[in-house]
Amino acid sequence: MNKMTLKELYQVGCSFETSVGEGSKSERARIAKNSSRIILDDELTNNIMSFDKEIKFLVAGEIWCPDYQLNGSVLKRFIDLNTNFDMSIVTMARGKKFLEPILGIENAKYPLIVVLDKDFNILGSFQERPEIVKNIKNFDEIKLDYYKGQYLINSANDIWNIIKNIK
């Protein structure tokens, strides 16, 4: 089986903007809507803005996926706040073929976000939805709120919790 390293996957990926550009008009519109709904508190905003180490987000996802639209928008906010953050998007197919074996995961939930340091060491990963949403027994009860962006801050906090402990 062919293998790709994290660095090779990162290099063949595209930017978030390119990924969004491949979507339908309504999918592209959801990115702007989601972005407008990301309300980070001052502490998290300041923490992101003052973070002085390079972080790479390797994302396996597709623009048609609502979870990708939501959580990709959160990553984009991190990048907009601090140039030490960068993101590369690969397809879900590449995620399944190459990322899952690297991470030792079978049947990952997408988007699959791998947080890397500047040397492509894995700091952690985020699958599909924030932990608080995953832990809700009946997703249907909160589904509408989730898709309206009411849990975007939870995604941001989950991702920040992976990053903040880097030495």
- Domain assignment present for residue 1? The answer is no
pLDDT digits (tens, 9 = 90+) for 78-127: 999 999 999 999 999 999 999 999 999 999 999 999 999 999 999 999 99
Q: Which pLDDT score, from 0 to 100, does residue 2 have?
A: 75
Residue 123 resides in a domain: yes
Q: What CATH number corresponds to the domain at position 152?
A: 3.40.30.10
pLDDT tens track for 38-80: 999 999 999 999 999 999 999 999 999 999 999 999 999 999 9
Q: What is the mean pLDDT of residues 130-141?
A: 95
Structural domain range at position 97: 6-163
pLDDT for res 30: 94
Does 18 fall in a domain?
A: yes
What DSSP state is assigned to residue 100? Answer: H
| Domain assignment present for 94 | yes
pTM (predicted TM-score): 0.95
CA–CA distance, 110 with 1 (Å, rounded to integer): 22
Structural domain contains residue 112: yes
Q: Is the pLDDT of residue 165 over 90?
A: no
In a domain, 61, yes or no: yes
Residue 145, domain member (yes or no):
yes
7 Cβ neighbours under 8 A, 6+ residues apart? 120
Q: Which tokens belong to 136? A: 């809700």
Instruction: Taking residues 8-27, report their average pLDDT.
Output: 96
Inside any domain, residue 149: yes
pLDDT of residue 53: 96
Count of structural domains within the chain: 1
Whether the pLDDT of residue 1 is over 60: the answer is no
Q: How far apart are the C-alpha atoms of 36 and 32, rounded to whole Å?
A: 6
Q: Taking residues 9-35, what's their average pLDDT? A: 95
Tell me the C-alpha to C-alpha distance, in Å, between residue 41 and each of 2, 38, 46, 167.
Answer: 44, 10, 9, 24
Chain Cα centroid distance, residue 124: 11
CA 85 to chain CA centroid, Å, is: 12
